[in-house]
Structure 1
């Protein structure tokens, strides 16, 4: 029998809680997939007023799941209620890019959203809150959120590139006709956008009981440096074209993976990809939220140092860094307006 921690539930906020991604995400949080099968939770569910009817239905389903780890929930349109005393935050809600919308318009709309949420985190959340930004443009949204929450360590704000990592691992596993769990240490560098760089130069795959390099196992640099990269960079658009809606189930699973590893740690010798505050490692400009390889222990991430960066990889890192610098500049101009 599982020993449920009834005494100290943690408080977890999900924004955009009536949306598609949250619909999959909430049930996984409630089931213990993120924080462990013995950790009880109180869910804080935030959305806008027009979504409250749908959110009421979501809460009815939370009741009907009858999960012992759920010690309560709060549904609200008020940031001060949603972020009160939270231990972890999934910032899913964001302004989506609509047809004909310029990137600067998208950034401007999201600055307003993440300013409000950053200020609420700063004022009401626990100071060690772990913040995962899922809503796009995730990297720059995380940067803005951190900017407006100066009392919370900048290391506590991250952006999700785990979906890209999961996509890349899956593509490699399919190519090698093996299980996805056999593929380790795939790295996503940079922005969660079409400039991201999925890098398997340092990745390993277990085949026939032996650990081998992915590059040598696939033995097709043409595919690895062209079709593979393009497939991962454009996978979100391909899903939309096929499904007529954006990735939701896989995005929710990636958010679970990201926060689970942040909360509980990564196995020795392995790393995962997270959008984190850059410190100048690998020649990346400082103070960008940039996807890096990180290992995690005791809820603290650390950039994995000393990985081989080829000239090809360096050119890709420079490209995605340039885009993030432009996004930062545009977003900060809105902040300072």
Structure 2
């Protein structure tokens, strides 16, 4: 086995982490031969619960788990880490406005960005899950200027998985028979789940999704709104945010970022925009289709056709992200040139 890598998870006493930590510790994310040291961060009042989580991880007797370090100190949690999965945030609750959620959370991610900048490895891979994830990732990046900007991502893989599952059910095929679904933009109700470039493998053939589904009205209507509102629907049913499916999205995102994507496939990742890609303004964490190499580097897939319908959807979600960014900077009085 190789030397252990250090992986930090925040919100480690919460429900998403409870569904996630076992997968990391047993090798589903960073590989079946890669040992890990896990540093688990939560707030001081949750340390009793977190200690119980540590006991359970130890009791699993997982050979790849070299050590577990629970803490309420971000600098302890992020010291020399190779990967940081920022799950912890004030949770979104039924009836809560997104702006309220943003105001409550940007200060959390400012503190964590500063800690990452101070003590993490400079090649650390940071995935922000806590909502509003895209803008929280942007704030984290702003306060960690010594870490490359491309090392900060936001999770939209849960949305991609939701969209993929909807198409698979409609076509009566396994989920892995649907490829290259794209989530554009924000992890919010403005996101655009796009299947114009996706394919379905059925009866030995690869078919464009529109040909496989044969229901354009559904694909441009109920399919999109179902994916956009899925998180709210889960909250309405459970009275809690998505946990099991969110953990699976984290696993998928980090596994592909660490090991690379399959040939001919791309995945949705919230990454920093350069102002020159698909008409999206600069300095937004925007979900694009990406391909990832074995060295952990990724590239946004270029050259995809954007029709008028898609352009309208991209502009709506970009506008929301621009407003979120400006609100976040105002809350923190951040210089936009930082």
* TM-score under structure 1 length normalisation: 0.97
Matched with 2:206 is 211
2:94/2:235 contact within 8 Å kept? no
**How far apart, CA to CA, are the structure 2 residues paired with 1:263 and 1:128?**
12
Residue 96 of structure 1 deviates from its aligned partner by 2.0
Say which SS state the counterpart of residue 173 (structure 1) adopts: helix
Could you tell me which residue of structure 2 aligns to residue 310 of structure 1? 307
Any residues of structure 2 matched to 1:41-120 within 5 Å, and which?
Answer: 41-98=36-93, 101-120=96-115
Say yes or no: does 1:251 pair with 2:246: yes
Q: Is the 8 A contact 2:93 2:235 kept in 1?
A: no
SS at match of 1:287: strand
CA positional deviation for 1:121: 0.3
In 2, Cα distance between equivalents of 1:71 and 1:100: 42
Cα shift at 1:79: 0.8
Distance between the aligned counterparts of 1:99 and 1:312, measured in 2? 31
Residue 287 (str. 1) matches residue 268 (str. 2): no
* SS of structure 1 residue aligned to 2:319: helix
Deviation readout 1:21-55 (Å, 9 max, x if unpaired) = 00011000001000000000000000001101110
- Residue 308 of structure 1 and its aligned partner are, at CA, apart by 1.4
Aligned to 2:170: 175
Q: Is the 8 A contact 2:210 2:216 kept in 1?
A: yes
Q: Which residue of 2 aligns with 1:142?
A: 137
The match for 1:130 among 125, 129, 136 is: 125
Q: Given the two structures, how large is their TM-score scaled by the length of structure 2?
A: 0.96
CA contact (8 A) 2:137 2:153 kept: yes
- Equivalent position to 1:189, from 162, 179, 184: 184
Tell me the secondary structure at the aligned position of residue 9 of structure 2. strand
Post-superposition shift, 1:108?
A: 2.1
Shift in alpha-carbon separation, 1:109–1:181, aligned structure 2, 3 A: same
Provide the C-alpha distance between the structure 1 equivalents of 2:268 and 2:103, rounded to a whole number of angstroms: 27
Instruction: Call closer, same or farther: CA 1:100–1:249 in 2, change over 3 Å.
Output: closer
The corresponding residue for 1:152 is: 147
For these two proteins, the number of residue pairs brought into alignment is: 332
Picking from 324, 330, 335, the partner of 1:333 is 330
Shift of 1:237: 1.3
2:326 matches 1:324: no
For residues 210-229 of structure 1, the aligned pairs below 5 Å read 210-229=205-224
Query: 2:186 and 2:319 mapped to 1: Cα distance?
Result: 10
**Counterpart in 2 of 1:296?**
292
**For 1:93-146, what per-residue CA distance to the aligned partner results, in whole angstroms no more than 9, with x for missing partners?**
011234665443322221110011000000000000000000000000000000
Q: CA RMSD in A?
A: 1.1
Tell me the distance in 2 between the aligned counterparts of 1:214 and 1:101.
Answer: 35
Give, in whole Å, the separation in 2 of the partners of 1:48 and 1:131: 20
What are structure 1's unaligned runs of at least 5 residues?
none
What does the per-residue CA deviation read over 1:134-186, in whole Å, with 9 as the maximum and x for residues that have no partner? 00000000000000000000100000000000000000000000011110000
Q: Are residues 170 and 133 of structure 1, via their aligned partners in 2, closer, same or farther at CA, if it must alter by over 3 Å?
A: same
SS at match of 2:4: strand
4+ long deviations beyond 3 Å: 97-105
Unaligned stretches of 5+ residues in structure 2:
none
Residue in structure 1 matched with residue 27 of structure 2 by the alignment: 32
